[in-house]
Amino acid sequence: MSKKIKLYDATKCTGCRGCQLACKQWNDLPADQTENRGSYQNPQSLNPNTWLLMHFDEVDAGADGVKWIFRKDSCMHCSDAACVRVCPSGALTHTKYGTVALDHKKCIGCKECVTVCPFNVPQYDPKTEKVAKCDMCFSRLESNLEPACVKACPTGALQFGDEEEMREVIKKRMAALKGKGHLYGDKFVGGTHMLYILPEQPVHYAGLPQNPMVPASLVAWKDWLKPLSLIAPGAVLAGTFLHYLTKGPKDVRKSLPETKGDA
């Protein structure tokens, strides 16, 4: 099974939010009561009922005035996903497509994935006491369908396909953009399975991490301390066994002056 890539080409995006709606529709997510804050960005951030959110940023472009830029925010589907590493119940898993799936039934609502995700994707829902996030429409992938957001995109900004195929698409598009496109997602966390082509430097997009990575604390915990928590007591247990066999138990009777240990 070839890995899949979902490409968001922001140079083709008109910010129509068809993908945001299609995501809600396919995943049967209710609308939230939101607040008008003078931006098309609505709601303000991802939440348990919004797994895909279009971000709208206004950027000072110097002589060109102000630029209005868009970004599609949803799970990046990391190859080295911090959330999968940390999940204690096995609810978060890597799939054969390279995506990160979430089994709701297994989630215990520990919120560990919420704090380790470098993209702030998993959202804890106090009502269900579980976490929610985009699973790149796993049920659709299983039926050989593209994700709902890709299906809905009217401009071709969202594309989906086999990894090798998509790499070719990206290469061609990057060449066509003549250095004005910025590829985001291929250089960290083992490469993400959602990739961006952005018309501006990533630094201009609010909330987009510049150097996302698996937290050092998680590496220390899962790669070092976790195995040590069994190795250390195991080694000491073996040590006490050896001690008993070689040195033997302490004979407290030796401390009695009158018996000299033969009592």
Partner 1 sequence: MFLIINKGDIKISTTFEKLLHWYLAITCLMLICSGLGMMFHSFNFIAAPFGGLKNLKLVHNYTGVAFIPALLLTAITWWKEAGTFDLPDDIEWIKKCGGYLWKVEELPETGKYNPGQKTFFLTVIFIGLLMIVSGFLMWNPEGYSKELINWMYALHACGIVFLLPFIVVHIYLGTVGVPGSGALVFTGYTSRAWCLSQCPKWLRKKEEDGTLEVFTGE
Rounded to 5 degrees, what are φ and ψ at 143?
A: -105, 20
Answer yes or no whether residue 217 interacts with partner 1 by CB under 8 A. Answer: yes
Q: Identify the bridge partners of residue 123 per DSSP, sorted by sequence position.
A: 132
Give yes or no for a contact between 6 and 185, defined as CB atoms under 8 angstroms apart: no
Q: What distance in Å separates the CA atoms of residue 217 and residue 222, rounded to the nearest whole number?
A: 9
Q: Which is nearer to partner 1, 101 or 116 (CB)?
A: 116
Taking the CA atoms of the chain, what radius of gyration do you get in angstroms?
A: 26
Applying the rule CB under 8 A, the residues between 125 and 164 that interact with partner 1 are: 129
- Exactly one of 61, 175, 176, 228 binds partner 1 (CB under 8 A); that residue is 228
| Nearest to 27, CA basis, from 46, 5, 4 | 46
Q: Which is nearer to partner 1, 56 or 221 (CB)?
A: 221
Q: What distance in Å separates the CA atoms of residue 8 and residue 60, rounded to the nearest whole number?
A: 23
Kindly state the smallest distance separating residue 240's Cβ from partner 1, in Å: 4
Stretch that binds partner 1, among 26-34, 179-187, 189-197, 248-256 (CB under 8 A): 248-256
Stretch that binds partner 1, among 36-44, 60-68, 181-189, 225-233 (CB under 8 A): 225-233
| Nearest to 121, CA basis, from 235, 233, 27, 207 | 207
Stretch that binds partner 1, among 18-26, 138-146, 172-180, 218-226 (CB under 8 A): 218-226
Count, residues near partner 1 per rule CB under 8 A: 43
The tokens for 213 are 């990575």
What's the distance, CA 6 to chain centroid? Answer: 15
What would the x/- binding string for partner 1 be over residues 88 to 127, using CB under 8 A? xxx---------------x-xxxxx-xxx-----------
Torsion of CA 190, 41, 11, 202, to 10 degrees: -40
Q: Which is nearer to partner 1, 61 or 228 (CB)?
A: 228
Q: Residues in the site for partner 1, rule: CB under 8 A?
A: 86, 88-90, 106, 108-112, 114-116, 129, 215, 217-218, 220-221, 225-226, 228-230, 232-233, 235-237, 240, 243-244, 247, 249-256, 259, 263
